[in-house]
Amino acid sequence: MNPYIEGMQALAPELVLTALALIVLVADLLTKGKDSRRMGYLTLAGLAVVGGMLALRLGEPSQTYFGMVIVDSFGTFFKLFTVAAVAVVCVFILSDKNERKNGIGEYYFLLLGASVGIFFMVSTNHLLLLVLGLELLSLASYALAGFHKGQRKSAEAAMKYVVFGGLSAGIMVYGISLLYGMTGTLDLAEMATLAGDSIPTGLVPQLYLSAMPVGVAMVMILAGFAYKMSVVPFHFWTPDVYEGSPTPVTTFLAVASKAAGVAALLRFVGALFPVDGVDEIIMWYGDRFGMLIAVLAAVTMTLGNLSALRQQSLKRMLAYSSIAHAGYILIGVATRTSEGFDAAMYYMTAYYFMNLGAFGVLLYFESALGSDRIEDMRGFGWKSPLISIAMVAFLVSLTGLPPTIGFYGKYLLFKVGVAEGLGWLVIVAALNSVVSLFYYFSVAKSLFLKESNDERPALSQPLFAGLLTAIGVLTIFFGLFPDSIQELVEMCSLLGS
């Protein structure tokens, strides 16, 4: 068959998603934005189609198209993840009482556009396509962060996001250009294997020549990933942008956008520095690189948790908590083993459930109270028991206590950490989860331990409450019976099998 047509078939989910984005945009224009809810439902239906197409591909062997797009289960896993996250974000937008319901068709268009960016970002070993995907995601995210353009905070968030995003993307591209200059290729797989008998190309000869310039390039490239994942020292934008953006957008940034960063980083590290590398010097260098990531992990989780301790606003607290969780995930990356990567993927899944849940509850409180201050939620647990109990499940999971999915994720990360000789990092992470208990449970304290002095009745949003409760139940269910997710993760493993 014509390789071009074949490639197009392989990229069908991306094409459908792009078409969907355009349809939503045009349809909203044609209906003059009268009832943008319809666009939301259309998006949800489209996402269901894309999700179905992706689910059918799970377990298929890895294939590369056009020399740069890899279609494999690992990518499909993160694409499904994105679709599921964006679908929940759409439901959030539809149930957000503060959101104007008219003329916001672009909301869905931008979300879908960002998803297309993620789709390419997670399915390539080619640095050029990686940067393109990353930029597409970033551009859509900037616009989303400033979606409430009338509000000062939202505008400020968008501005900060643009400045930081531009800076770190610039650093990353510069690093890539250095790497390209040294190795003569942008394809990570080629870079790792090219030996170049006559002309010294590829990573290995370059490292033998001098490790220093490669190190500079690597650190610079890492900046781009660190920015997407909110890893220290590229985390500064996170609290302000998370706080200023509309809550559904924050949810998207915290869950889908971060997962994209994780997936791209896993591909990068997995291609260049797997623990059983091809060459001695790669292994030597990989150890150093792994150690760098381990140190970043320790600093990130500690800083995120300590900063979260003092937050008054739930939204800001969740922002710092998402920084801390990026640190936990890095444990799996730092081991550079198949098990470590699987643990990171499992943890992302756990993170998906507990953070979607927590942000959903936040959205609910914002609608009901008009405030995201933890103090204002006093006694609310007795008014909306179902949602508040679900919130406790999310908090328990975020802390990493059984019987929740967060505990199992943390267990897997700790296990690979201990097994790969990162015991010190695991101790840091374990003590961090004790610290995090304090601030997570300040929410539970406010909900149940304090007396309410607020006479306002609870909001009645049965559908939304049902969704949150369902996420809460799944958080506990997958904590007690995690086998199905673990099998899925192992099937989609990047390095394994």
Partner 1 sequence: MENILSVITFIPFIGMLIICCLPKNSVGLIKGVALVATGIPLILATQLYFGYDPMAGADGAYAYVEQIDWITGIGAQYHVGIDGISLPLVWLTSILLFLGVPASFGIQKSQKAYYALLLLLEVGVFGVFISLDYFLFYVFWEIMLLPMYFLIGIWGGPRREYAAIKFFLYTLAGSVLLLIAVIALRLQMTDIAPETPFSIPAMVAAASEGLLTGASLPNGGLLLGMEFSTWAFWFLFIGFAIKVPVFPFHTWLPDAHVQAPTPISVILAGILLKLGGYGMMRACFPIMPVAFYENAYILAILGVISIVYGSFVALGQTDFKRMVAYSSVSHMGYVLLGVGAMTVWGAEGAAMQMFAHGTSSAAMFMVVGVIYDRAHHRDLNGFGGLSQPMPVYWGLTTICFFAGLGLPTMSGFIAEALTLVGAFQSDDIRFQALVLISIIGVVITAAFLLWAIQRVFLGTLNEKYKDYPDMNFREIFCMVPLLILCIVFGIFPNLILDVMHPSLDHLVTLLTAGGN
Positions that interact with partner 1 (CB under 8 A): 382, 392, 396, 399, 401-403, 407-408, 411-412, 414-415, 418-421, 423-424, 426-427, 430-431, 433-434, 437-438, 441, 444-445, 448-450, 481-483, 486-487
Q: Is 242:160 a contact under the CB 8 Å cutoff?
A: no
User: From the CB of 267, what's the least distance to partner 1, in Å?
Assistant: 24
Instruction: State which residue, 4 or 424, has the beta carbon closest to partner 1.
Output: 424
Closest distance between partner 1 and the C-beta of residue 435, in Å?
Answer: 9
Instruction: Please say which residue, 120 or 414, places its beta carbon nearer to partner 1.
Output: 414
Taking the complex as a whole, the smallest distance from the CB of residue 23 to partner 1 amounts, in Å, to: 41
Closer to partner 1 by Cβ: residue 195 or 449: 449
- Within 10 Å of residue 33's Cβ, how many Cβ atoms? 17
Q: Please state, in angstroms and rounded to a whole number, the distance separating the CA atoms of residues 259 and 320.
A: 16
Nearer to partner 1, 48 or 418 (CB): 418
Least Å from the CB of residue 395 to partner 1: 10
CB of 253 to partner 1, least distance (A): 29
Pick 28 or 420: Cβ nearer partner 1: 420
Indicate the angle between helix axes 462-480 and 385-399, nearest 10 degrees.
40
Q: Which residues contact 366 (CB under 8 A, 6 or more apart)?
A: 98, 247, 372
Task: Provide the token pair at 140.
Answer: 């859509």
* Smallest gap from residue 440 Cβ to partner 1 (A): 11
Both tokens of 384, joined, read 């909306």
Residue partners of 427: CB distance under 8 A and separation at least 6: none
- Determine the residue type at 153: K
The answer to whether 298 touches 425, Cβ cutoff 8 Å, is yes
CB of 156 to partner 1, least distance (A): 34
CB of 108 to partner 1, least distance (A): 37
CB of 335 to partner 1, least distance (A): 10
Gap between the Cα atoms of 355 and 357, Å rounded: 5
The distance of closest approach from Cβ of residue 476 to partner 1 in the complex, given in angstroms and rounded to an integer, is 11
Task: Say how far apart CA 183 and CA 206 lie, in whole Å.
Answer: 7
Taking the least distance from each CB to partner 1, the nearer of 52 and 59 is 59
Q: Could you tell me the smallest distance in angstroms from the CB atom of residue 401 to partner 1?
A: 5
Under 8 Å CB-to-CB from 269, ≥6 apart: which residues? 289, 293, 333, 336
> Of 245 and 442, which CB lies nearer to partner 1 in the complex structure?
442
